Amino acid sequence: MLAIRTRRRKAVALATAAVLAALAAPSLSATPATATTAAAPATASDYDSTYYKDAIGKTGDSLKSSLHTIISDQTKLSYSAVWDALKVTDQDPADSGNVILLYSGISRSKSLNGGDTGDWNREHVWAKSHGDFGTATGPGTDIHHLRPEDVRVNSVRGNKDFDNGGSGFTDSGGSLTDSDSFEPRDAVKGDVARMIFYMAVRYEGGDGWADLEVNGSVDNGSSPYIGKLDVLKQWNDEDPPDAFEERRNQVVYDTYQHNRNPFVDHPEWVEAIW
Ligand SMILES: [Ca+2]
Ligand SMILES: [Ca+2]
């Protein structure tokens, strides 16, 4: 773990010069141009002395508690507002008229949002039933874990927990499923893990919502848990944040919720807490 952190710090330091240049003009329109560059911590170091000031240097429950306080200061979207937000946060870097669907990887027209076959809709990566938060303003409208997905693929995922294994299916894009779990395609495994860890820290039982937590099970049903912890940690390691995920985090912060996913900025904080 120490080695990973050290490498991360070196990567941050090496990227700083390039990042400073990019930050000189931090407009949203400038950001997608970086989508094809190699993974780099585009923003993390710049928020350590400000946004994450109270969390730096902490670990375990102390870190989790600090991050909870920091990221709970946010703007909340209505469920209807989520449609338009996702058209911006999940825009295809190669086609501004499309969004990228999370599990299937398909690029589909922004205008095909809806509930019919061939449409995309609003996938809750932390399944709504796991904590019974529905789509009222709150965890059910938190776009840090809401993503565009093909209607049928969303249905295949259902409310399954995450684990390795299973078979492909129509438009799976490399994602797999079996009777009790879902495995996202390799390119978004880490994205899924970091969304889940964000939810576990953001929702700690306040505001009338359940305390969402990660556990080691795949049969959580309607309990406020998502598994499996060891697999999600592995996915976080194997698929570090790329430019698409980092841009998305920045857009959510700048334009919509004004809070960040700490694990996109600092993937090593997963190991520091869990
Ligand atoms: Ca990824
Ligand atoms: Ca929690």
Q: What's the pLDDT tens digit per position in 129-169?
A: 999 999 999 999 999 999 999 999 999 999 999 999 999 99
Tokens of 159: 């409310």
Burial 201-229 (b: 16+ CB within 10 A, else e): bbbbeeeebbebbbeebbebeeebbbbbb
Could you report the per-residue pLDDT of 201-214, keeping only the tens digit for each?
A: 999 999 899 999 99
Q: In whole angstroms, give the CA distance from residue 202 to residue 213.
A: 10
Radius of gyration of the chain (CA): 17
Where the chain has pLDDT below 50, the residues are: 1-42
Contact between residue 39 and residue 243 where contact means Cβ atoms under 8 Å apart: yes
Query: Which ligand is nearest to the Cα of residue 102, counting in written order?
Result: 1
Q: Report the pLDDT value the prediction gives residue 127, as an integer from 0 to 100.
A: 98
Nearest ligand atom owner, CA of 211: 2
Which of these, 183, 104, 190, 97, lies nearest to 150 by C-alpha position?
A: 104
Distance (Å) from CA 233 to ligand 2 centroid: 16
Identity (one letter) of the amino acid at 168?
G
Expressed in angstroms and rounded, the spacing between residue 205 Cα and the centre of ligand 2 is 7
How many angstroms separate the alpha carbon of residue 182 from the centre of ligand 2? 22
Q: In whole numbers, what is the pLDDT of the chain averaged over residues?
A: 89
* Residue 36 confidence (pLDDT): 43
Ligand 1 center to 235 CA (angstroms): 9
**pTM of this prediction?**
0.85
pLDDT tens per residue across span 248-272: 999 999 999 999 999 999 999 999 9
Residues lining ligand 2 (ion), CB within 5 A?
200, 204, 211-213
